[in-house]
Amino acid sequence: MKLFITCFGPAREITGQRQLELDVPGVTTAGALRSYLLNTWPDFRSLDVVRVAVNQAYAEDDLTINEGDELAIIPPVSGG
């Protein structure tokens, strides 16, 4: 299953890319994606929190990811 993941703010600087294209067996939930990111780019661990958004909404770790979902990495926000 091919996943397209957009990286915002500090996440973009940590991965070095705005768009990630992943095809990793086992990454079928938001939580698994989060773990994959933290393991692949240990700098994510320096952030207070890393959330995953699925189809433009914050996802709980047990949410299943399907091919074609809109995925994003949401590092700590700082709007306002």
Residue keyed to tokens 């990793």: 24
Choices 23-31, 32-40, 60-68, 69-77; region in contact with other proteins by CB under 8 A: 69-77
Q: Which of 2, 46, 62, 67 binds other proteins (CB under 8 A)?
A: 46
Choices 23-31, 32-40, 59-67, 68-76; region in contact with other proteins by CB under 8 A: 68-76
The one-letter code for the residue type at 59 is A
Q: How many residues bind other proteins, per CB under 8 A?
A: 20
Measured between alpha carbons, how far is 74 from 8 in angstroms, rounded to an integer?
6
CA 61 to chain centre: 11
The enclosing H or E element of 6 equals: strand 3-7
Q: List residues near other proteins by CB under 8 A.
A: 6, 8-10, 13, 46-48, 53, 56-58, 72, 74-80
